[in-house]
Amino acid sequence: MSKFLYACKQSGKQIVRNKGMALTSVLAITAMLIILGVFTIIIVNINTAAEMVKQDYNNIELFFKDDVAVEDIEKTKTEIEEWKDIDNVKFRSKDDALNILKKRWGENGYLLDGLTENPLPNSLVIRVDNIEKSDAVAERANEVEGVEDVKYYKDTVQKLVKATRGFQITTLFIMAFLIIISTIVVSNTIKLTVFNRSDEIVIMKYVGATNWFIRAPFLLEGIFLGLFSSLAASSVVILIYKSITNLIGDKILSVLGTPMVPLGFLSANIIYIFLAIGICVGAWGSIISMRKFLDTK
């Protein structure tokens, strides 16, 4: 315990002595994490929207005209159930459709309570057993009598999934580059400390100090730099996301029909991820510097 406290004390002194380089390291890691956080916010919300659309990936919804009786729709349902490549057919009333929309709107569902009349139509939801047959089923569904419109998401989902994957790959390359830069900056900070304490390190070796006893303050210095950076970046990203949800949350909901990811859920995950990345970057920067300049293994 005394050795650990000594290492913590020494790392604190080293940060104060080289506060300029330490601040540079913190800013570099913080900037990297903030950029990561912004990309994470975008990816998570895009994935959430894509998953909600994917729920209808194998579904084809037939919207009927208002003058079509429910009994006629039930008869049509029975006929469609005899088609090939159909898994099941479900009748969705106007009231059911409105309730589903309220659930999708989440906390903002109360906005729909003010409607004097339900504008949504009765519909049949057809689930196909093979997505490759969806095109043929959708074309046939368009010919059903009384159908006003057919909702079919296949092309939209495919484009969305492709765009999401491309964005994720781009983000990984950007983050890899930023992590490398941040690690180099931390490593240079530790190098400066090593140079300043080179005589002290030589003396410690002569008197029998172990490699880990020498390493510990430098390793903790890198970890502390990463820790400070992750906490700062987490605060900034959470504040940014809170501002975004307050500013455009309802607008996104009205356009896409899906709410943004809850702030509480995203905040907790961002803090955990940032702590892990920040500490690892700081520790690894220290390890690189120590291996090269302390000649320890």
Confidence of residue 6 (pLDDT cuts 50, 70, 90): low
Residue 257's region, left for phi above 0, alpha for psi from -120 to 50, else beta, is left
Reading the block at residue 86, the tokens are 């159909």
Catalogue all structural domains in the chain, each as residue range(s) with its CATH number.
2-53+158-293 (no CATH), 58-152 (3.30.70.3040)
Contacts of 175 (CB under 8 A, 6+ apart): 32, 35, 36, 39
pTM for this one?
0.59
Which segment of 31-35, 70-74, 207-211 scores lowest on mean pLDDT?
Answer: 207-211
Report pLDDT for 297: 44
How much helix, strand and coil, in percent to the nearest 5, is found in the chain? 75, 10, 15
- Return the structure tokens found at 127: 């689930």
Greater confidence, 215 or 252?
215
- The pLDDT value recorded for residue 129 is 75
Whole-number pLDDT of residue 204: 67
Distance from chain centroid for Cα 252: 17
Q: What is the model's pLDDT at position 123?
A: 92
Q: Which residue has the tokens 């002194």?
A: 13
- 169: exposed, middle or buried (Cβ count in 10 Å: 0-12, 13-18, 19+): exposed
- Angstrom distance (rounded) from CA 223 to CA 229: 10
Name the most confidently modeled range: 59-68, 106-115, 174-183: 59-68
The first and second tokens of residue 290, run together, are 């120590």
Q: In this predicted structure, what is the pLDDT of residue 259? A: 65
Helix ranges restricted to H, 84-153: 94-105, 134-141
